[in-house]
């Protein structure tokens, strides 16, 4: 019996590994953000869109560090204007879309008299939908412009180092 090689080798530093890791970071930070969002809206009765802003800020801090260091292997000092500001701009573009989805869903859920877990669930799904809509574009920007491009330039491949 022969065993076929995997379609994608996640042990090497390639695009597939970065996609899987970036998606993992997104899942983790989404859980964090949704937990903050649910806690603020349910336990503290905070307005959904305000809670969403706070939840996004909490997730963005974690997302930046994990994406930069774990996904793209960047351990040098962050460049505020080339990395931090664009990353936060991307995150807050997602926030704007997510907040629009959350506010619209919150209004709709109230109008149809959803209450308790159904209302909260609808708001959480709306939040995820807003971010999911931008995830692919965000990955490409991070990989091609922010973290990946400089990493590839600063770290020559094995072939480039060979005499």
pLDDT 10s per residue in the chain (163 long)? 666 555 445 556 678 888 899 999 999 998 999 899 889 998 999 998 899 889 989 999 999 999 999 998 989 998 888 888 988 888 888 888 888 898 899 999 999 999 999 998 998 899 888 878 788 788 888 888 888 765 544 444 445 445 5
Instruction: Quote the DSSP letter at residue 44.
Output: S
Q: Residue 132: its pLDDT value, please?
A: 81
Q: How many angstroms separate the CA atoms of 64 and 60, rounded? A: 6
pTM of the shown model: 0.67
Domain residue ranges of the chain, discontinuous segments joined by +: 17-151
SS3 128: helix
Cα 46 to chain centroid distance, Å, stands at: 23
């Amino acid at each position: 019996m022969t065993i076929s090689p995997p379609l994608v080798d996640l042990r090497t530093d390639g695009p597939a590994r970065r996609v899987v890791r970036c998606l993992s970071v997104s899942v983790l930070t989404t859980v964090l953000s949704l937990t903050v969002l649910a806690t603020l809206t349910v336990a503290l009765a905070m307005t959904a869109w305000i809670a969403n802003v706070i939840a996004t800020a909490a997730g963005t801090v974690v997302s930046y560090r994990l994406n930069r260091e774990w996904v793209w292997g960047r351990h040098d000092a962050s460049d505020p204007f080339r990395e931090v500001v664009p990353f936060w701009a991307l995150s807050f573009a997602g926030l704007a879309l997510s907040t629009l989805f959350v506010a619209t869903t919150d209004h709709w859920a109230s109008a149809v008299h959803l209450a308790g877990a159904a209302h909260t669930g609808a708001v959480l799904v709306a939040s995820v939908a807003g971010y999911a809509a931008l995830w692919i574009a965000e990955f490409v920007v991070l990989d091609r412009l922010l973290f990946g491009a400089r990493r590839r330039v600063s770290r020559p491949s094995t072939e480039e180092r060979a005499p």
